[in-house]
Structure 1
């Protein structure tokens, strides 16, 4: 029984709107070191906390949390497509434990995921199916949103389940930090987009999906030229958030409301709840030691881009 944690920002803009080569090399080195640590750990199970961007979860049914009993990636923005290697019986047992712990989480036997799940599996493990993985969706864009406390309690429940296993468990958190890409909001869109958000966007025609991706790419280019074209990045808040995780002060985030977080760091900053859930899961193994901290605001990727690792303290 042992555990390792890696949190990492994701971005669909890699290869589409990139920063200077020296920044790319810096990020690549961070990812390579994380990949090497994970390879040395040899995980037997991965628990991946990640969001969605209206590619798999819609307002026809929008859970705060959902555990995948089976899942496949759609391959948006050039990320890998195909099935994830989900151990169904183990995922079912995890979901049952989470409910017994008092956390209401949905389950899906047909979970559809996007780059938020696929990118960390590709970058850190080398593929979608290299290791058994339980995918855990945390709603980070569709109001009403779960708060930090609920995300923490979810992580703690999953961590206790993982601790009961005689396995090497890797916790991954994918997303954040401060950012606000052009994600549609139900209250502000026309009838056609409303229909997409209600569920018809689950199976977009290829030309429409490509047009959607090009809108994000164009928004990134505008943001580089004009940092006020979108909600600005907030490096100060990002560093404070990393401080709280590094020092194990997760519960201090409980008092930060969703509206306040959006105002501080952007509507999509709620993806950091995947990091909180992952760190909360690790606390089930006792006090932890955080390391390999990385942070850089990267406007080309519309992201305060970060990474942080941790393992149980000796």
Structure 2
């Protein structure tokens, strides 16, 4: 039994509106190094914490957390489409263990996921089906949102389950740091968009899907010209967050409210709860050491973009 963690920001804008070539090369190098570490680890199971952006989860039923026993990626923004290699019985057992640990979690036998799940699997593992993966959704945009404490407890419960498997487990967290792209809010949209948010947007026609993607690209172009056109990025907060993860005391985030986080770093920054859940899962295996920390604010991607790896201290000392 062994464990490795990798957290990585995702962006649907990659390949659609990119930063300078030197920045792209820098990010590519970070991703390649993480991919090499994962390949050397040879995971037997992946546990992937990721959000959704009103592509798979809607207000017809909006859970705080959901574990998929089967999942299919829609291929938005040119990311990979198709089924994830979900081990059904292990995912079912994981959900049962989380419930027994006192954390409410939904279960999906037909989970639909977007770039938040697909991109890390593509970049870090080379495809959606290269390794068995348990997809764990954390609601990060649709209020009311779970807080940091609940995300931490979810991660700890899944980590406890992972320890019982006797497998090489790779824990992934997928989410941007400070950012606020133009995600619709139920309280502020017209009747047609409200209907989309309540479920009719699950399978958008191609023209509507294209128009939605174009809105995000256009917003990014404007953001580069005027970084007050959206909530500004907050590199100071991002760096502080990465430091908290490295220090290992995740409970210090418990008292930070959702409203405070939105004001500090943008309404989509709640995606960092995927990182918190991932590190909480790792913490169950004992004290950990972080590695390969990376951070850069990238306005073209409307995101504080980061990466951080970790492994148990005992393994880190040996390697």
Task: Deviation per CA, 1:169-197: give whole Å up to 9, x if none.
Answer: 00000002000000000000000000000
The question of 1:242 aligning with 2:264 is answered: no
The whole-number CA distance in structure 1 between the counterparts of 2:237 and 2:96 is 36
Distance (whole Å) between structure 2 residues aligned to residue 166 and residue 69 of structure 1: 20
Q: Deviations over 1:262-288 (max 9, x none)?
A: 000000000000000000000111000
Scaled by the length of structure 2, the TM-score of the pair is 0.98
Give distance in 2, aligned partners of 1:51 and 1:41: 25
Q: Work out the CA distance in 2 between the residues paired with 1:81 and 1:95.
A: 25
Q: Mapping of 1:87-98 within 5 angstroms?
A: 87-98=87-98
Counterparts of 1:60-99 in structure 2, within 5 Å, are 60-99=60-99
Q: Deviations over 1:130-156 (max 9, x none)?
A: 000000000000000000000000000
Following superposition, the deviation at residue 249 of structure 1 comes to 1.6
TM-score computed with the length of structure 1 as normaliser = 1.00
> Could you report, residue by residue, the CA deviation over 1:188-209 in whole angstroms, capped at 9, with x for unpaired residues?
0000000000000001001000
Query: 1:185 aligns to what?
Result: 185
Structure 1 partner of 2:203:
203
SS in 2 for 1:98: helix
What number of residue pairs does the alignment pair up? 314
* Equivalent position of 2:306 in the other structure: 306
User: Which whole-Å CA distance do the structure 1 matches of 2:82 and 2:74 have between them?
Assistant: 7
Alignment of 1:145-294 (within 5 A): 145-294=145-294
Q: Aligned-pair RMSD on alpha carbons?
A: 0.3
Identify unmatched segments of 5+ residues in structure 2. Answer: 315-319
Three-state SS of the structure 2 residue aligned to 1:255 is coil
- Structure 1 residue 227, shift from structure 2 partner: 0.4
Structure 2: distance between partners of 1:34 and 1:204? 34
Partner of 1:115: 115
Match of 2:19?
19
The CA deviation at 1:31 is: 0.1
Once the two structures are TM-superposed, the CA of residue 123 in structure 1 deviates from its matched residue by 0.1
Structure 1, residues 190-245: CA drift from partner, whole Å, max 9, x if none? 00000000000001001000000000000000000000000000000000000000
The whole-number CA distance in structure 1 between the counterparts of 2:249 and 2:285 is: 16
The 4+ residue runs of structure 1 with deviation greater than 2 A are none
Residues in 1 aligned to 2:291 and 2:82: alpha-carbon distance in whole angstroms: 32
1:53 corresponds in structure 2 to 53
Work out the CA distance in 2 between the residues paired with 1:176 and 1:258.
Answer: 16
1:134 is aligned to 2:134: yes
